[in-house]
A and B are shown apart, each in its own frame.
Chain A
Amino acid sequence: MKQSAAQNAAATSAALRLESALALLAQSGQVLPAGDANNAEWLQALIDGLCALSSRDALTGLANRRHFESVLARELDRVARAGEPALLLMLDIDHFKRVNDSRGHVAGDIVIKAVANALQQSVRPMDTVARVGGEEFAIALPNCPPAFGPMVAERVRARIEGCRIDVGLGEPPIGVTVSIGGAFAPQWVRSSLGLWMERADKQLYRAKTSGRNRAEFEPAAVSQVSAEEKGLLFAAPGTVSQLKQP
């Protein structure tokens, strides 16, 4: 069986024109598959390389929009039934056009790369950072309790604000800020990718219109239960009856 599969692969690869696939991989700096070009393993490595390439953003190496959407879709499925909280942050570099206009597109690209790097470093390894547009980024944070959302967003915001981005050529470093919008996936409810992104986008818009360099979240649900309430909920019955009427 194995023999014939390899023979098939050899026959197939002989008939395939792989030059452009190999050129793409080489151009992206990926290691070309080693070994005999006429076997299934080699072809598999080539395909794996192409898959990796098609899920990454060329400039920053972050997840691209396509890959990010598949991550979010998986997260929605999990949250819907398991009820674990998951956070989506949408981010946008403030006044990025000014950087491009005054310092040129090369500097603009350097800024995008620096922001991408800083974002990646300010979240957990399990989180997915993506570049979803020109100067737009998004982060999916699985298993992130609602109380931590604003803390995470603030950490990200402060880290970007603190960056001095060296664009070389003896020019002064550039500092940028980001606006952030956050939305939690609705727990226990089947939702859609579009709705979740739209909700986070709405908060990003709020952050932009209320001064930039800030994070906005959907207002906390009325359903939040305070620590005092929880304390009483799990206290022995009757022990607090004298407190009943405040």
Chain B
Amino acid sequence: MSDAPVTVLTASPRARISAITSGKGGVGKTFVSANLAAALAARGERVLVLDADLGLANLDVVLNLAPKVTLHDVFTGKHTLDEALLEVSAGFTVLLAGSGMVEYSRLTPEVRDKFIETINAVAPRFDRVLLDTGAGISDVVLYTVSLADEVIVVVTPEPTSMTDAYATIKVLASTQKRRAIRIVVNQRVPGTDARSVTAQLQQVIDRYVSPGLESPVTLELIGDVPSDASVRDAVRKRQLLAECFPGSPAAQGVAAVAVKMGHVRS
């Protein structure tokens, strides 16, 4: 049974793991991860953002961090996991990959083991782990996504982003038997509509993906983040939008995602 457990109102012994992926790079995946973490933390969740965008992550840039100890040091055994966990002012924790992760851009059994080990070590200590995955559909990205309980695809209304998001969903549906994918439409410009973007994707999936599967793939729109100049300002200041412009339309869009994500646990 995949239904929710009968016991309610007890703290989850293990974090819910959400993979945040996109297909295309540059659609604001890391922006969504970091600000979503802040929004979830503001709602009282213990949140960890794990930078799974090996060696290419901008999480440190977005959060203005200069980490001394990274996931790479944990993988190589130089430091303990606790030394690499970094608490940020917005009330959540990050685990950065760090440069030098180039060797992990190829999925070897060793990399798999180390990932599993890390996830298993952090999962009992948080309510939520957000995996900020790399862009694209490389085997490492697919593997990190496979470790998650749910998948959130960040897409913008641009044709290239929609095409790559569709390709990602197609691959996840066929290789990981994912049937429910959550969608966050980011950088939505005036004149476009998050529901239409999701409906367009759903339409192609219904026609070309679901017929080949035992059960259909369903997209759920959980976020509509409008294009917003304050995002650029926040990035330039190297601060979280949730902290410096909490009232901005984009910050409120991300906060609404946190509310929707919270509902899934009840």
Residue positions of A touching B, CB distance < 8 A: 80-81, 83, 186-192, 195, 221-225, 228-230, 232-235, 237, 240-241, 243-246
B25 close to A81 (CB less than 8 A): yes
Bound-state Cα–Cα, A229 to B106, Å = 30
- The answer to whether A230 and B200 have CB atoms under 8 Å apart is no
Give the docked Cα–Cα distance between A80 and B53 (Å). Answer: 11
Q: Are A195 and B211 in contact (CB under 8 A)?
A: no
Taking a contact as CB atoms under 8 Å apart, the answer to whether A222 and B134 are in contact is no
Q: Given A81-B25, A186-B138, A246-B207, answer yes or no on A225-B105 (Cβ-Cβ < 8 Å).
A: no
The 9 residue pairs across chains A and B that have the minimum distance between CB atoms:
A188-B135, A188-B136, A188-B25, A223-B167, A190-B55, A237-B199, A190-B56, A223-B137, A232-B204
Q: Point out the residues of chain B lying under 8 angstroms from A221, CB to CB.
A: 137
Q: Contacts of B103 on A, CB cut-off 8 Å?
A: 192
Contacts of B166 in A (CB 8 A): 225, 229, 233
Which B residues are in CB contact (< 8 Å) with A195? 105-106
A191 is contacted by which of B26, B102, B135, B200 (Cβ under 8 Å)? B102
In Å, the complex CA distance between A8 and B25 comes to: 50
User: Size class of B's contact patch?
Assistant: 35 or more
B185 within 8 A of A: no
Asked whether any CB of chain A lies closer than 8 Å to the CB of B163, the reply is yes
A229–chain B nearest beta-carbon distance, Å: 5
Is B203 a contact of A237 with CB atoms below 8 Å? yes
Q: State whether B200 touches A186 (Cβ < 8 A).
A: no
**Is B10 located at the chain interface by the 8 A CB criterion?**
no
Complex contact B101–A190 (CB within 8 A): yes
* Cβ–Cβ < 8 Å partners of A240 in chain B: 203, 207
Are the CB atoms of B206 and A244 closer together than 8 Å? Answer: yes
Q: Which of A225, A230, A234 has the most CB of B within 10 A?
A: A225
When A186-B138, A223-B171 are in contact, do A237 and B200 touch as well, CB less than 8 Å? Answer: yes
Task: Tell me if B178 counts as interface (CB < 8 A to partner A).
Answer: no
Contact of A233 with B25 in the complex, beta carbons under 8 Å: no
The 0/1 profile, CB within 8 Å of A marked 1, for residues 160-194 of chain B is 00110011101100110000000000000000000
Given A190-B101, A192-B102, A244-B206, is A225 in contact with B134 using a C-beta cutoff of 8 Å?
no
Partner among B175, B200, B208 whose Cβ is within 8 Å of the Cβ of A234: B200
In the complex, the answer to whether B138 meets A224 with C-beta atoms within 8 Å is: no
CA distance A190 to B72 in the complex (A): 14
Q: How far is the CA of A201 from the CA of B261 in the complex (A)?
A: 46
Q: A78: shortest Cβ distance to chain B, in Å?
A: 12
